[in-house]
Amino acid sequence: MGGIGHIHSQGLAHRDLKPENVLFDSEFNLRVADFGFAAPIEGRDGKGLLKSRLGTEGYMAPEIHLKQPYKGASVDLFACGIILFIMVTQHPPFLKAHPSD
């Protein structure tokens, strides 16, 4: 969460957080990788919302699936919740998020 907080404090939303993008360095510190879908956290127009439908489906927040504008920090936090769920249970909570999630 510290890494994600740092990314957000630098004005970026990752938008593709998943276990494959969380790596260990040589001292076993966690590192966030693959910033190919990163975008300004305030959106491209500065209004605070992003609109692109991208990421890995099982980690995408419901608003992305619904093709609604979304806050980058919120969808990153949703993906972190999915990663934590997988770490605890050893399986994903669902294949695709629904609004009730």
CA gap 21, 6 in Å, rounded: 16
19, two tokens: 């276990």
Active site residue 25: no
From residue 52, give the alpha-carbon distance in Å to each of 12, 49, 73, 93.
14, 10, 14, 24
Residue 96 main-chain phi, psi, to 5 deg = -150, 130
Kindly name the residue from 16, 25, 45, 101 that is annotated as catalytic.
Answer: 16
Active site residues: 16
